[in-house]
Amino acid sequence: MEPMRKIVLATVGSLGDLHPFIAIGLALKARRFAVVLAVPADHVAKVEAAGLTGVAIVGGFDALTETLGMPPDQVAKRIMSNQTYLMNRILMPWLADSTTALDDAMEGAVALVASLFVFAAPIVAEARGVPLVNVRLQPMATFSAYAPPRTPDFAMMAHAPTGPIGRAWNRSVYRVMRGVLRHRYGRPVDAVRKIRGLPPSRQALLLETPESADLTLCCYSPAIAPRQPDLPDNARVTGFAIFDSDTGAPETLDPALEAFLPPVHRRWSSHWDPLRRLRLATSTTLQPRPRERSGCARYC
């Protein structure tokens, strides 16, 4: 039997960033890959409860709140409302140490799959000469001129451009933003690259797909955000990577409760699991419901 090939998945952020990577990791494990998830320290336990190997490449949220000297709710609010603060106080200070930790985790790996916010990933993949898969979890993270983000940082964009002038304006705004990002963060990025024996990079963090990326996975439904014409040629809109567990371990439901649950209507937009069905049932009334489906639900 051939030895299992090792793939490292790297992500930072909240559970919304972690869960899709656990889903991808479990899918790779089912295909006989040895999967390692490189994550914040406080996510390692959940990764391992899901049956995967977890390693820490950055500190956890508790360490972050201690470093910043703010309570957790204030830290979360600041991160969500101020992208400059996120870059200057969190992501960039992590860069050197996370690059070392991720490089250690990559020993023997044949590929690296990483989220947009793991700035160490392109450096490590390029230095090791392994394929890099770039993951975008939200449509806004593609930074398309056809459908730009609607967050306050992008308020100057034409958000629904119907013609070439609006799209040209959006490209111009992105061009200015990339220049600002290169000016602010180019030197610290190049300093870390130099340690790894790499030349300086002209790419802007966040707003450009890493040159070393062999594939870009857009993990959202094309029904919500169709593929835009300016996506990279190597981009694939895959649909959602779904994992849902409070602990990381598989969650089951007592079969005796099945009689009280609403029927499942199988449509393209339904991502029901037993616990969600239980929450729905108990949020209204805990009464037995008929299992018969009517209308098109019988055939959908």
Q: What is the pLDDT along the chain (300 residues), one digit of tens a residue?
A: 667 899 999 999 889 999 999 999 999 999 999 999 999 999 999 999 999 999 999 998 888 888 888 888 888 888 877 778 888 888 899 999 999 999 999 999 999 999 999 999 999 999 999 999 999 999 999 999 999 998 888 999 998 888 999 999 999 999 999 999 999 999 999 999 999 999 999 888 888 888 889 999 999 999 989 999 999 999 999 999 999 888 888 776 666 666 665 554 443 333 334 444 444 444 444 444 444 443 333 333
pLDDT value for 277: 41
- In angstroms, the CA 48 to CA 55 distance is 9
- Is residue 250 situated within a structural domain? no
DSSP secondary structure, 220-258, as one string? S-TTTSPPPTTS-TTEEE--------SSSS-----GGGG
Domain contains 247: no
Task: Kindly provide the b/e burial profile for residues 228-266, where b requires at least 16 CB atoms within 10 angstroms of the residue's own CB.
Answer: bebbeeebebeeebebeeeebeeeeeeeeeeeebeeeee
- Specify the CATH number for the domain of residue 112: 3.40.50.2000
Instruction: Report the domain count for the chain.
Output: 2
Same-domain pairing of 195 and 263? no
Residues 70 and 203 in one domain: yes
200 and 103 in a single domain? The answer is yes
pTM of the model: 0.81
Domain boundary among 196, 211, 237: 237
Indicate whether 111 and 209 sit together in one domain: yes
In a domain, 243, yes or no: no
- Residues 165, 277, single domain; the answer is no
Which residues constitute the domain of residue 21? 5-237
Residue 106 shares a structural domain with residue 138: yes
Angle between helices 120-128 and 164-195 in degrees, nearest 10? 60
- 248 located within any domain: no
Domain stops at, among 204, 237, 270: 237
Residues near 125 by Cβ (< 8 Å), separated by ≥ 6? 112, 114, 131, 132, 210, 212
